[in-house]
Chains A and B, each alone.
Chain A
């Protein structure tokens, strides 16, 4: 299959164009040997590879290095490039294009944001530009698709053409009376701290590109209306008082919305799984299979999938903040605060991505120039509250704080926000500790580009929500499916004989009375207690008892070391095994009795202790694996795992003692 690369500077609208070209035919993976997200898709017979945005082939960040490597690989295979240009920054963007043109790869230039050009009454003579660049040029708008069909036709007709070289001749060297060009070699060997950037190259490039840009833009003196409006908004949004107030209100609205808007779809999903369970019991004739499906798999999957609306809403709102241009302002206003913790405004986006998942956050930390800061973000970001914690928090908060019908603002949302803030605080303190340890040498390079404010491109926002929610469901679903089956088996089978269980049941009966409903509960409880899962939970019970947990919670804790969200699925499975009731998992937890005290097991202190445990514990094997991949050894992920487990235990113990 033929392929082409989508290349461009940051904020050139490259990802919007990628979404338009490929639709839902996208695949998100990783680059070989790296954790940077690799987005590829299909357009007809072409494979499209969306490269991370880069400012120059003289790469600074690890992410830019990956784009550079892919572009250099394309030289040998003559893989064509669609170069995306932000039309409002023609000269700046053509500087990067000129570097690629000198590699002599077949190209096609797509000048994006046609609507911005029209609104600013700026015209680009793309036909003349085509002649000057030496390859086809198309004007388009990746926001509404205007001109994209022309680009598609040009791609399908394979109209890629090798552009005119700009400074390539500067790198000609004579060896044995043969001219050898060293440009590609120089680009490949460039290291920002060791290589003197050729000033001749830069100024010649700037001169030629400047002249091309000037000769093709109708009016250079015209003020960019978007930039002017953005500057006006920035006076408010970057203001030391109003800006920070706006930021806090925005974050409050985000968390309140996660609870407020998700109620109805969560009820639908719950009702759907209740129906599926009902249907499963009625239609599966094999009793063991019916038990496996209805007590193991469905409660396990349903217990997590019910939280998809909340996760999708969180991704949607974070996407709106990002696509509106506001996320970069958060970097700006938080820079000084973060500096005190050894970070900078550059860390905000990876850290806020951690609210979705620590894995993409650790991946996006590659864009941070300073290796020391990058290390701090990698080691601290798993403390930010990821979406996998959300199901755990939601269920425990619902038990701790009764739902109030007081409109948009409610106590549950406030408690959730406090947990998120606790995660942020813990992250900052750990980042501060890591940055003071000088684990890796630092780098002082730092800059922040503030994009203009825009109404978000809804298509992009929805693609983002779709791809990330899908990844959550598929990745979590696989783990939960396997863990549910294992847990069901462990909870359904016992190393003891039936006779032993019957004896225990009889002694429980004589202790509890002879009421029919109690008989049922006692038999189920006895079976679970003497199952493999019961023995496993009891083995760790002495360690977790000081935290207010029993062996059943112990089973869920152990299983959720694979992934946090498994906790809810595991509880669903544990409390479903042997139970005839189709009650909500939340109701089952509320009704669970502590056999020692005779009071509810899930009281305020236990729930708080569990919440604090999940705030700090690194219960995600995928994160551990990604950290190992990023830092290149097992030392730091192991230290990170043990340190976070220690914090989790100490805080959970403190919380339980304080409130029990």
Chain B
């Protein structure tokens, strides 16, 4: 699933993280792991960033990085 299917305010659960080991480590240090629940926030397309809430904080990732998170809408 990609972020395109996730609308603002919708929640999803991370079921897999692909990409390099470096990227996976980076996600873990940012508090994103399997089972993390994320809520998509307002993310204007011009910024090429996806803004979401996870663990009580607001985090932004590049669209291409966010696509490495396999998520399921909940």
Contacts and interface: CB of A to CB of B under 8 A. Distances in A.
Given A89-B57, A227-B58, A203 B33 contact: yes
Given A56-B29, A206-B33, A444 B23 contact: yes
B7 to A, nearest CB: 14
Given A238-B47, A240-B46, A446-B65, A230 B58 contact: yes
Interface string A483-500: 000000000000000000
Given A193-B21, A447-B60, A449-B58, A332 B26 contact: no
A448 interface: yes
Interface in B16-55: 20-26, 28-31, 33-35, 41-42, 44, 46-49, 51, 53, 55
B21 A196 contact: yes
B55 A238 contact: no
Contacts of A333: 47
B41 to A, nearest CB: 6
A231 interface: yes
Interface in A226-281: 227, 230-231, 234-235, 238-240, 243
Q: Which of B20, B46, B53 has the most CB of A within 10 A?
A: B46
A445 B26 contact: yes
A239 B46 CA distance: 9
Given A335-B47, A339-B48, A447-B30, A58 B55 contact: no
Contacts of A449: 57-60
B23 A89 contact: no
Given A58-B25, A193-B21, A224-B56, A448 B49 contact: yes
Contacts of B42: 231, 234-235, 238
A588 B21 CA distance: 65
Contacts of B60: 332, 345, 447-450
A92 B57 contact: yes
Interface of chain B, main secondary structure: mixed
Contact of A234 (B23, B26, B30, B51): B51
Nearest to A58: B29
Given A60-B29, A336-B47, A339-B48, A231 B41 contact: yes
A95 B31 contact: yes
A394 B57 CA distance: 42
B62 interface: yes
Nearest to A334: B47
Q: Which of B25, B29, B61 has the most CB of A within 10 A?
A: B29
A369 B46 CA distance: 23
Interface in A42-65: 55-56, 58, 60
Contacts of B53: 227
Contact of A88 (B29, B56, B61): B56
Contacts of A127: none
Contacts of A91: 55-56
Contact of B49 (A231, A243, A332): A332
A374 B20 CA distance: 21
Contacts of A448: 49, 59-60
A284 interface: no
A193 B26 CA distance: 9
Given A55-B29, A58-B29, A450 B46 contact: no
Contacts of B23: 444-445
Contact of A92 (B22, B28, B31): B31
A197 B57 contact: no
Given A60-B29, A197-B28, A234-B51, A92 B56 contact: yes
A238 B58 contact: no
Contacts of A445: 22-23, 26
A91 B37 CA distance: 13
A183 B20 CA distance: 24
A204 B34 CA distance: 13
Contacts of A86: 56
A643 interface: no
10 contacts: A60-B29, A88-B56, A192-B22, A203-B33, A332-B49, A336-B49, A444-B22, A447-B61, A449-B57, A451-B58
9 cross-chain pairs, A with B, having the tightest CB-CB distances, nearest first: A92-B55, A89-B56, A56-B29, A450-B58, A448-B60, A193-B22, A240-B46, A445-B26, A197-B25
Interface of B: 20-26, 28-31, 33-35, 41-42, 44, 46-49, 51, 53, 55-62, 65
Given A243-B44, A451-B58, 12 more contacts: A89-B55, A89-B57, A90-B56, A91-B55, A202-B28, A234-B41, A235-B42, A332-B47, A335-B49, A336-B47, A446-B65, A448-B49
